[in-house]
Amino acid sequence: MPTDDTKPPAGTPPPRETPPPAPKPPVKPPDPLLAVVSCPAPDRLREVLPGRVSEPHFFAGEVTLTVAPDHLLEVCQFLRHDPACSFELLADLTGTDFPDEEKRFRVVYHLASLRNGQRLRLRTQVGQEESLPSVTPVWPGANWFEREAFDLLGIQFDGHPRLVRILMPDDWVGHPLRKDYPLPGYPEHHLRYRTADITRRSYVDISWKATGERAADIVKKYKGNVGAPESAPHVPMPVDDTNGQETGS
């Protein structure tokens, strides 16, 4: 009788089954916020003005370049007039206060090229006792932006045509967007301006009341017995009875 040589001898433990391979970890898709955006400005600056700006940083579809204050005006003039860049619009100028850093203020210029459909963020840092060159010779619209940064943060801009406050009163104490500015402000100054504001508003209300009375007199004189605008007679809208049919003249 034939024997089965493949049969293991008695008492031999059964062979262990090979475990299935571990599943591969899922491939993490690239973060869309860190996607590289096509923008000619970094390459053009690297080619024409080497060493003036940092490597580009990409985030949320924006390109950010960091520039030292000494090269700020030169870089801005190039970005404005170079045909490949053509950032003819300064959309905004903002500042942020970091009082624990040596260069306390970070100033960001938001540029836009309407011709090329491109946007660029240009960032620089400046200390409390330092100043930045004004970019009003490049973008005249920077006039009010720089005044706002001066008013609320105290950032100085050399060469500005008229660097005075734009939101707060001229004799206001402090800069409200600085981190060391008291959250409730300075009550003694607020009380003084609040009193002046109440006085001014009372005067304005009296003036508007007098103006309204004079306007009512003029209406009565030229249009008969007509009161205030809200009491004017209702004029019905014309109704089209032709049902869309053209009528001959």
Helix axes 41-48, 72-81, angle to 10 degrees: 120
Q: How far is CA 207 from CA 5, 48, 217, 242, in A?
A: 117, 61, 16, 51
Q: What is the pTM of this model?
A: 0.66
Q: Give the pLDDT confidence of 99-114 residue by residue, as tens digits.
A: 999 999 999 999 999 9
Q: Where are the domains of the chain?
A: 32-176, 182-225
For the cut 60, the answer to whether the pLDDT of residue 179 exceeds it is: yes
SS3 content of the chain, % helix, strand, coil (to 5): 30, 15, 50
- CATH number of 32-176, picked from 3.30.70.1290, 3.40.50.880, 3.30.460.80, 2.40.10.10: 3.30.460.80
Q: What is the rounded CA–CA span in Å between residue 215 and residue 177?
A: 44
| Contact by Cβ (8 Å): 113, 68 | no
Q: Give the pLDDT confidence of 20-36 residue by residue, as tens digits.
A: 888 888 887 877 777 88
For the cut 90, the answer to whether the pLDDT of residue 82 exceeds it is: yes
Q: In percent, how much of the chain has pLDDT > 90?
A: 51
Q: How far is CA 99 from CA 36, 147, 156, 181, in A?
A: 32, 21, 16, 11
Q: Give the pLDDT confidence of 31-72 residue by residue, as tens digits.
A: 777 788 888 999 999 999 999 999 999 888 889 999 999 999
Element containing residue 113 per DSSP (H, E): strand 105-113
Q: In percent, how much of the chain has pLDDT > 70?
A: 71
Say how many C-beta atoms besides its own lie within 10 A of residue 44's C-beta.
16
Q: What is the rounded CA–CA span in Å between residue 141 and residue 165?
A: 16
Which of the two residues, 238 and 39, has the higher pLDDT score? 39
